[in-house]
Amino acid sequence: MSFFRIAKCFEVEYGHRLSKHPEKCRFPHGHSLKIEVVIRGRKLDEHDMLCDYKALKTLVADLIERLDHAMAFNSEDPCRNGFEGADERILLFDAVDPTTEVLARWLFEGISGRLSGGGWVEAPSGTKYRLPDGLELERIRLWETSTSWAEYVAADER
């Protein structure tokens, strides 16, 4: 089956604590995350594009902003209490550690539903961009370091 793919990358500073980790990762620490969003579809639009990159950027902007300078914790981690007062920058994952794999799934789930119906997105400039029908999120690849990444992939990928 043939299709087109495009990708858009984002970078944010992000911290987490892995409460179940046996070594250093059990302490709060940060990463410069590189987030790769890959979408696919079978046909090009009237501008000969699968989707405008600006439309994709606008579609995911709030999720990327939610991660930027955020600190992520397992909701059951007692250490999160030490970060009270910074609630707008705390990201809790329900009973799981915020590993790179968990974060990739969180992003995938947050983005995939937004693509399914097509529609329009409005950039901060006020320009509206069309999301063509038939777009699918293929994968989220999340680089935690320059040598380590995890990804969450659509179910029909092999």
Hey, what domains does the chain have and what are their CATH numbers?
A: 4-43+54-134 (3.30.479.10)
Query: Residue 144 has what pLDDT?
Result: 95
Quote the pLDDT of residue 81: 80
Q: What amino acid occupies position 145?
A: T
* Residue 158, pLDDT score: 45
Q: Check residue 39 and give its pLDDT.
A: 97
Distance, CA of 64 to CA of 83 (rounded, Å): 21
**Torsion sign, CA atoms 11, 13, 17, 23:** positive
DSSP string, 51-109: S-HHHHHHHHHHHHHHHTTEEEEETT-GGGGGGTT-GGGEEEETTS---HHHHHHHHHH
Q: Report how far residue 157's alpha carbon sits from residue 109's, in angstroms, rounded to the nearest whole number.
A: 16
Is the pLDDT higher at 101 or at 132?
A: 101
Q: State the DSSP code for 44.
A: -
Q: Tell me what pLDDT residue 155 has.
A: 85
pTM of the predicted structure, to 2 decimals: 0.93
Q: How confident is the model at residue 157 (pLDDT cuts 50, 70, 90)?
A: low
Q: Output the pLDDT for position 99.
A: 97
Q: State which amino acid sits at residue 12.
A: V
Planar angle of CA 7, 119, 124, nearest 5 degrees: 70
* pLDDT tens for each residue of 47-106: 999 999 999 999 999 999 999 999 999 999 988 887 777 778 999 999 999 999 999 999
- Through-space distance between the first and last CA atoms of the chain, rounded to whole angstroms: 13
The pLDDT tens digits of the residues spanning 4-61 come to 999 999 999 999 999 999 999 899 999 999 999 999 999 999 999 999 999 999 999 9
**CA 13 to CA 9: how far, in whole Å?**
14
